[in-house]
Amino acid sequence: MRIRALILALAFSPAALGQDALPGAPRGDLGVRYWPSTGETKRSHNAQSVAPGLGNPTSVLVYENLDANALELFGRQDFAEDWFLKGFLGYGRVNRGSFDDEDFLAGQVKFSDTTSSVTQGRLGYGTLDAGRQWVMREGAVVLGAFAGYGQWTESVDAYGATDHLGFIGGDVGRDVKVISNKVIWRVLRVGFAGRFAFGRRTRLSLDLAAIPYGRVRNEDSHHLRTDPSDLGPAPNIIGEGKALGLQADAELSHEIFRRTELGVGWRYWYLEARDARRSLPNRPDVPELPLVELYSVRTGLTVSLRRTW
Q: pLDDT by residue (tens digit) across 123-153?
A: 999 999 999 999 998 889 999 999 999 999 9
Q: Residue 149 and residue 131: Cα distance in Å, rounded?
A: 12
Q: How far is it between the farthest Cα atoms of the chain?
A: 100
What one-character DSSP code corresponds to residue 135?
Answer: E
Q: Find all residues with CB under 8 Å of 98, minimum gap 6, and list them.
A: 63, 64, 65, 115, 116, 117, 118, 158
**pLDDT greater than 60 at residue 166:** yes
pLDDT category at 24 given cuts 50, 70, 90 is low
Task: State the Cα angle at 99 between 93 and 104, rounded to 5°.
Answer: 155
Confidence of residue 23 (pLDDT cuts 50, 70, 90): low
Residue 10 has pLDDT above 70, yes or no: no
Is residue 58 scored above 80 in pLDDT? Answer: yes
pTM of the model: 0.90
pLDDT exceeds cutoff 80 at 207: yes
Q: What is the pLDDT of residues 90-101, one digit of tens each?
A: 999 999 999 999
**Average pLDDT over all residues of the chain:** 92
Query: What is the reported pLDDT for 120?
Result: 95
Dihedral (C-alpha) 199, 200, 202, 207: value to the nearest 10 degrees? 90
* pLDDT score for 8: 38
Residue 244 confidence (pLDDT) above 90: yes
Confidence of residue 26 (pLDDT cuts 50, 70, 90): confident
Q: Is the pLDDT of residue 4 over 70?
A: no
pLDDT number for residue 11: 37
Which pLDDT does position 80 carry in this prediction?
87
Q: For residue 6, name the pLDDT band (cuts at 50, 70, 90).
A: very low
Confidence check: pLDDT of 194 > 60? yes
Domains parsed from the chain with CATH numbers: 27-308 (2.40.128.90)
What are 106-115's pLDDT values in tens digits? 999 999 999 9
Among the listed ranges 20-29, 60-69, 84-93, 182-191, which one has the minimum average pLDDT value? Answer: 20-29
Q: Chain centroid to CA 173: how far? A: 32
- In this predicted structure, what is the pLDDT of residue 18? 35
pLDDT tens per residue, range 32-44: 999 999 999 999 9
Query: In the chain, what percentage of residues exceed pLDDT 70?
Result: 92
Across 277-301, average pLDDT: 97
What is the band of 19 on the pLDDT scale with cuts at 50, 70, 90? very low
In angstroms, the CA 12 to CA 32 distance is 40
- Per-residue pLDDT at 3: 38
Does 1 have pLDDT greater than 70?
A: no
Burial class (CB within 10 angstroms; exposed 0-12, middle 13-18, buried 19+) of 99:
buried
